[in-house]
Structure 1
Amino acid sequence: MFESRELSASVEAARDVYAPDVQVLDCDRDFETLPPAQAEDLGLLVNSLEPASYPSAWLPDDAPTLLARYVSSDLTIGMPGDGSVVWTRQTEPPLVIVKPRVEGSPDAFVDFLLAEAFVQLDLEVPEQFLGFFEDEYRALDQAVSLGPNSTYQVAAALFDGWVGLQTREVFAGWHDDHPELAAAWQDAGTRLEDRVSGLPRAVARGETEFADATELACAAIKHAIELPAPFAALDTDAYRDHGPEYAIKWAEKTFDSLAE
């Protein structure tokens, strides 16, 4: 199911800088969360498995089943919304896993996704949003007047945006040492600009759900493109510095405004 992935020269150079010990694997089956048996199979490829676990008290009673599984002692790699490339520190050495859904994507974009994973590992950000919100996830759940799955989506998006505030500072410095990756980063941002600028109109017309809009806007933060209200308030040093507390206040203010 897994095999070592051959890396381009630019990705190899990025790995040497940010995550020299990481193994990069191709997975022959697509997944959101790796099935338990396949996750355990990774033990044949690494030195050890170190499943993460969190207090179940951090979750609201109606949390999605997968999130409840994630806080348990089960080895859970990948969660809905993680995208085409996932990484984990629940193995030694850490792993980056490429899903088959990348097929058909431009090689330069896939290279960027791999380099992004290395940077995130180097920054030592949490693996999933629950490690970011911790026991404040209940407060976010109270602030977001949506169902449990949409609340999950908003939480994952807010975490992605917070990570993006940090990674984009690294990406912006790539022009000299990693020009191919810098170009891919900028190109991906350019492709998002029109979609992001039209989000308020799409939400107002009912063409886009608010959780989907939050996901797209927060994904754009790492590309340093201009965000419309109310998402522009997340593109700030205050969010980078204050994290969950700021995210919850943003959610409270935003959903109060939507209810008016």
Structure 2
Amino acid sequence: MVSNAVTITRLLGWGGLIAIVGAAAMGPYWLAHDPATQDLFAILLPPGSSGHWLGTDHYGRDVLSRLVHGSRLSISLALLTVACAAVPGVVLGITAAWRGGWLDRVLGYLTDTVMALPGLLLVLLVMAFAPGQALTLFLGLSLTLWVEFFRVSRSLTRTRLATSQVEAARRLGFGPVYLLRRIVLPHLLPQIAMLAGFAITTAIVAIATLSAISVGLQPPTAELGTLIAEAMPYYADAPWLVLAPSVVILLFVLSIQLLSGERRHE
């Protein structure tokens, strides 16, 4: 029963993720409408009208095209953010655990300082230098997320280095490269992969949230958060404008959570 449940969870997670990422990656090549093209004679058309599968917005732009391009931008930003947070976080975490001493203390103080600030506040402080820019949004989120990768990497590496297996390998003359490649990383990478999954969901929700409250990316940029922000004044007349990007965010986050949770229970 447990095995069947895990299999179903994996299938649902991969199915949702492949569908969303595939549509975001390949959609721009087969969609008939440009996401920026306006048609003021076809505003707020309901789904299925005049070849617009998900209708049009208040400028007559095709909702499906903007949704696909918005998903592409949101997912790309989230992946780039997590990659730029994970690499330095893991490298510094392993280095701090391996070297110890003053380096470990300095990095520990730095992470404590970052964690003392609310995550969104740190992002807002960075974005104050260039509001509405993708670069500052990405940098702010990366500075917030790298701390978790550092803490997990340092803790797991420190625990692993204290085992008898590492002590025996050192007595046999094996160097740091062997210890890292054969003993530390095989134990560390599955946990980092699971953490990266949760970080991606955090990043995509944060990007959409900041854009939805007009702090992140700004219209007319097609991003899931900006689609929601633009659609809110028309929710009573065209609820699909808000529901479409909201459902995409929900399904993407749910798919990642299913895969991350399934890996955690393996």
Q: How would you bin the TM-score normalised by the shorter chain?
A: under 0.3
| TM-score normalized with structure 1 length | 0.27
Structure having the higher helix fraction is: 2
- Larger Cα Rg: Structure 1 or Structure 2? 2
Structure with greater strand share of residues: 1
